[in-house]
Structure 1
Amino acid sequence: MLSKIIYRSYGDRFPSDENIQIVEVKSKNGLDDFIKLPFKLYSKDPLFVPPLFKDMYNRFSVKNPFFLYAKARYFLAKKGRKTFGRVTAIVNSRHNEFHRDRVGFFGFFESINNFAVARSLLDKVSEVLRNEGMDTIRGPMNFSTNEECGFLLEGFNDPPVLMTPYNPPYYNDFMQKYGMKKIKDLYAYICEIPMELPEKVLRVAEIAEKRGIRVRPIDMRRFELEMRVFKDIYNSAWQKNWGFIPITIEETNYLAKRLKPIVLSGLILIAYKDEEPVGFMGVLPDINFVLKKMRGRLNPFTILKAIYYSKKIRCLRLLLLGIKSEHRNKGVDALLFREGFKNVKDKYKQFHKVEFSWILEDNIPVQRLVEMIGARLYKIYRVYEKNL
């Protein structure tokens, strides 16, 4: 298997339990090692997409509003000067307040194909979380369900799209061997962008219009304000979803700043009933295609590359679809789909495929909707947990 070859190519010898040292990151050099480790581990993996170094440093800094209500500690698995793995221990007070539980999280997990390394990392996280009063370890979360989460379980032949996880298959073996149990599966569907939506979808969309539902694209000139509308819909529509954590205004502003450079006009839509925002759909281009060419670097040369390759992106990701509960089953989603795909077809003919992700394994209505337009399940991500 390719992933085993990749990981066996890094380091002279695999460490054993007695010579693995778990070191907490407390310096810039340590953070450098933490951020750069995946670039070494996946150096021969053709599907790996390197994130921008600048983005990662920002993400792990106090600039990230996640740290206004959560805390994280970062650890490296080392033998001498070589690094063989990494992990983050996360305590998210907003999660525990909202769900009234004591769940701690692990995230940003990476390891060579050696269970001793993985066990040492997870043991350390478990120790930290127990000391914080947690009774459960869950993950991976990078940092929460509002970001990347889960280990890829099925679908290793396709590259990851924008803001989705990627890992070798043996991470799932490590979790089972450590005693972790599945807590939730997350689905990704994909299809060719349809020339026409099914008649049933169009008919339901028309019924929604007759009921007074209207859809408009966000106003890019008021992007930050429009994202606040998204926040209100998100916190209402997703509040009963598994793992939900309310998004704050600070996180909304942070997300807006990150996403605005890649948003395409007409592909982020808001649905209204009279003057009330009742639904939201967000479709973004898969900039992973561009990031792969940039290799983590942001400089004049890679910016030119980004401009060139951005015109060659062929895939979209529908990553946000939410309807307030009192307006579900009234065709709002169908109307959003109709208008969104019409804008793709009219304005962005370069796109050929769209991924719908992630969708909870028990969210049958959304699964049936995307299947109706021809999408197929092609990836599964798994979130694990264990009692401490």
Structure 2
Amino acid sequence: MTDTEVVIDAVDGKAGRTAFVDLGRRFSAETPNAVPQLRGEQMELLDPAKNPLFDHARVQLFIARRGGKAVGRIAACIDRLMLEMPPEQGFGPGTGIFGYFDAVDESVAKALLAATESWLREQGMTRVLGPISLSMWEEPGLLVAGHDQPPTVLMGHDPAQYRAYIENAGYEVAKRLYTYALDVSEDFPPLVRRIVKSGQRNPRINIRPVDHANYTQDVRTVLHILNDAWSKNWGFVPFTEREIAYGAKKLRPLIREELTRIAELDGKPVAFMLALPDVNEPLARIGGKLFPFGWITMLRWLRRPRSRVARVPLMGVLKEFHNSRLASQLACMMISAIREDTTKANGTQRGEIGWILEDNQGMVAIADAIESEINREYAIYRKPL
């Protein structure tokens, strides 16, 4: 072995996961505009004993070394729920994924992707999609446009050169995802305001915030609507009951009444919109480190998470109302209520919606109606094995 040879090691166990996470944090610290996340949270996501993703997924972590130094990483994953989805929705039988992709140069990237493809092929997979780290509900896609600004909460951020590394390895774009930004310090256009006022006059419609006294039930309601609303979307994988409980617990510190709405029709929950304050703002200040003093910053922020930016990562309307005027009206009413409340309560200046699939005509139409503009583009790639 020479000092220039790239060696790929499969790693597992706590020591392997620790090395994998710490390597990713090194890459993040060296990437302009990236925001280091909390190390403990990253460790938990890769711990089979804590993350319910592992109830239905097998994951293999790889670290690349050159001359004894770690120079890249990647994760290969086979998710049983993905395999059970219809192929026309993106996944389906024979589909594996890769994620948590980092490499110092193209030769390392090539070796990492080859190792992942080999492992997936040995497990009987016939195609690979990625990067998806390690769920569509976590960080899907490679950032290909919008590198000039830091990411918002729960969005990934990748060096610009990774695009060439992946495309030169024979991958092609399977789907593009967009995020949309807008100035929320100003009211929405007249058309949207008229739609909202019309809904407010409808006695059948009730738009309410999450009730923290019934938090668990409300979050379960939201995620069950999501499972129904997104069930025909490209890339959809349903939340399991354990994942719903896990998600409710993890999101609780960020769920704010002024940032979440549930829409009821004749007393029945039929739609929701979830916005989150941008926790990346305080995380950037502490460098993703709670100790020795970062926990003070985070505790103060969580008590009153004033944020210049709020992101809408999730919204949904029950399938029975898709492609109806009611669906658009409920969406406009919820986002209008959130805009008004968060600007007053938190001093929020900018909103971000997404990600949104490039061909999701309904959501793109809503983004256009409120005069938001694409600020980031992510790509999910595919390759036959």
Letter in structure 2 aligned against 1:321? M
The answer to whether 1:195 aligns with 2:186 is yes
CA shift in 2, pair 1:97/1:72, >3 Å: same
Identity %: 30
The answer to whether 1:77 aligns with 2:71 is no
Deviation of the 1:33 alpha carbon: 1.7
Match of 1:338 in 2: 336
Distance 2:288 2:68 in 1: 23
Match of 2:216 in 1: 224
The answer to whether 1:150 aligns with 2:148 is no
Match of 1:174 in 2: 165
CA shift in 2, pair 1:45/1:88, >3 Å: closer
| 301, 304, 314: which one aligns with 2:308 | 314
Distance 1:222 1:73 in 2: 39
The answer to whether 1:371 aligns with 2:368 is yes
Deviation of the 1:366 alpha carbon: 1.5
Match of 2:44 in 1: 58
Structure 2 residue matching 1:98: 3-state secondary structure: coil
Q: Which string of whole-angstrom CA distances, capped at 9 and with x for unpartnered residues, describes residues 5-45 of structure 1?
A: xxxxxxxxx964xx211111124332222101133234343
Aligned pairs (5 A) from 1:351-370: 351-370=348-367
Q: Which string of whole-angstrom CA distances, capped at 9 and with x for unpartnered residues, describes residues 211-240 of structure 1?
A: 612111111122221111012100110011
Q: Which string of whole-angstrom CA distances, capped at 9 and with x for unpartnered residues, describes residues 221-275 of structure 1?
A: 2222111101210011001110000111211111111111122222111111113
Distance 1:60 1:289 in 2: 24
Which deviates more from structure 2 when the two are superposed, residues 69-78 or residues 335-344? 335-344
Paired residue total:
371
Letter in structure 1 aligned against 2:97? F
TM-score by length of 2: 0.92
CA shift in 2, pair 1:85/1:262, >3 Å: same
Which deviates more from structure 2 when the two are superposed, residues 253-262 or residues 194-203? 194-203
Structure 1 residue matching 2:85: 3-state secondary structure: helix
Aligned pairs (5 A) from 1:95-244: 95-99=82-86, 100-112=92-104, 114-209=105-200, 210=202, 212-244=204-236
Distance 1:93 1:28 in 2: 24
Distance 1:352 1:45 in 2: 26
Deviation of the 1:95 alpha carbon: 1.0
Distance 1:296 1:347 in 2: 26
Distance 2:341 2:257 in 1: 9
Letter in structure 2 aligned against 1:127? S
Distance 1:137 1:182 in 2: 12
Deviation of the 1:308 alpha carbon: 5.0
Q: Give the conservation status (yes or no) of the 8 Å contact 1:231–1:248.
A: no
Match of 1:92 in 2: 79
TM-score by length of 1: 0.91
Distance 2:137 2:24 in 1: 22
Q: Give the conservation status (yes or no) of the 8 Å contact 1:33–1:83.
A: no
Q: Give the conservation status (yes or no) of the 8 Å contact 2:343–2:349.
A: no
Deviation of the 1:159 alpha carbon: 0.5
Match of 2:89 in 1: none
CA shift in 2, pair 1:15/1:170, >3 Å: farther
Which deviates more from structure 2 when the two are superposed, residues 197-206 or residues 81-90? 197-206
Query: What are the ranges of 5 or more consecutive residues in structure 1 without an aligned counterpart?
Result: 1-13
Deviation of the 1:307 alpha carbon: 4.1
Distance 1:43 1:340 in 2: 33
